[in-house]
Amino acid sequence: MNTKYSPLFESFTLKSGVSLKNRIVMAPMTHWSSHEDGTVSDAEIKYYARRSKGVGMVITACVYVTPNGKGFSGEFAADTDEMIPSLRRLAATIQDQGAKAILQIYHGGRSCPPEEVPNGEIVSASAIAEDREGAKVPRALTDAEIEGIIRDYAEATRRAIEAGYDGVEIHGANGYLLQQFFSPSSNHREDRWGGSLEKRLAFPIAVAEAVKEAASHAKHPFVVGYRFSPEEPGDDGITMEDSYRLVEALIDRGMDYLHVSLQDFWSLPRRGANESRTRMEWFHTRYGSQMTFIGVGGLHTADDVLKAHASGIPLIALGRELIIDPDWVEKVEQGRAEEIQTTLTPLDQDRLVIPDHLWERIMAMKGWFPVVESE
């Protein structure tokens, strides 16, 4: 290995005591490939096995914690105890390759396709549709339903423990239910779950507390992380200043890490912080001494990742790049960083062990992945 990359291969111990063998994380990536009943498919098992050998930690694609939270076709489930054997199979696959296995737990809220949820009824903080053509107006959750979903997150955490995972990541990013409660653009409630910033924080923080309490019953060190999007577009959404308040509340609840969901690791703030630093640099400057951050977004080469890590962020996640090159970590470790692939060709599916439904979307969604014609 080129010694300049050695910082990426230093071990790292999270607050809970779980130790990672290096600083590279596999980011959660939706793959639309589970069975209709919510169990993990053979195609997914092969996909994760192919990508779990080099990284220190794998964060799975999201699992829904309750039936009306299913946000995608082909999403796997953690909503009943019957799912535990399926969940266990995936955890063991990841761990057998030497990585820690983190289950991402989730509720899609108003982003759920009506055809994927019971009775076609989507729910959210308020009866406000997503800002996209054809979006359906959700029903505002009742107080009792909110309390029930909080319990569902705790139960999904219990199932993750029983299935042998090393931890869970609460998915509070990308416009899904927890963010819908946090955002002033989607939460117009006037009860204890909305109104002021503190009340908009109440639901995501209650989920974090319930998950932490459930995690405390694990018989081994168990990670609890939280993923969030630091800002929203427009003039009425979440700002960096809002996200600072979220981060402070999550620090107080003892999260192991916070995973900042960005398309571009180096992106600058829009509102609530000046442009003298990137978003990631602001979080690290303000809170890096109190909280472990995971950075992600548009990083491909070994030098890309080294530069991101050198900015002070201890853990760096790769998503699309590990789909493109599952051997990324091993190539850097073996002194072959120049062999890292950063593009796909239409002939690469079988070689890269990519499930059919994910491959179909990669090919269909122009610009999502860098696809070039085969030689």
Catalytic residues: 176
Residue 278, exposed/middle/buried by CB under 10 A (0-12, 13-18, 19+)? Answer: buried
Cβ atoms of 29 and 65 within 8 Å: the answer is no
Cβ atoms of 324 and 341 within 8 Å: the answer is yes
CA 255 – CA 78 distance, rounded (Å): 21
> Which two three-digit tokens encode residue 353?
């062990």
84-96 and 143-162 helices, crossing angle to 10° = 50
Closest CA to 137 of 123, 119, 149: 123
Antiparallel, parallel or unpaired: β 100-106 and 167-172:
parallel
- Tell me how crowded residue 364 is: count the other CB atoms within 10 A of its CB: 8
Cβ atoms of 267 and 229 within 8 Å: the answer is no
CA 62 – CA 31 distance, rounded (Å): 10
